[in-house]
């Protein structure tokens, strides 16, 4: 079975959440380790849908990365 970006971003012990839900929670959770945030960014980058562009920008801001194009 191929591994999807969403499967990598979701811990196996938790109830499966959409990538959108995971990113929204990560943006709010200030105690989340940077490694988890980077995995979510990787998952967003793997799914290049236009709907994820806003999430990508919010997650980049949460990580502290400069905005794309800056």
> Could you tell me the maximum CA-CA distance found in the chain, to the nearest angstrom?
39
Asked if residue 68 is part of any domain, the answer here is no
Two structure tokens written together for 15: 């109830």
Contacts of 16 (CB under 8 A, 6+ apart): 10
**How many domains are contained in the chain?**
1
- pLDDT tens readout for residues 9-66: 545 445 568 888 999 999 999 899 999 999 999 998 888 888 788 888 899 999 887 7
Domain that holds residue 48: 5-63
Q: Is the pTM of this model over 0.75?
A: no
pLDDT of residue 47: 82
């Amino acid at each position: 079975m191929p591994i999807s970006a969403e499967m990598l971003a979701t811990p196996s012990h938790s109830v499966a959440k959409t990538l959108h839900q995971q990113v929204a929670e990560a943006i709010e959770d200030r105690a989340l380790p940077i490694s988890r945030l980077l995995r979510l960014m990787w998952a967003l980058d793997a799914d290049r849908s236009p709907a994820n562009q806003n999430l990508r920008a919010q997650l980049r801001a949460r990580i502290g990365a400069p905005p794309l194009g800056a």
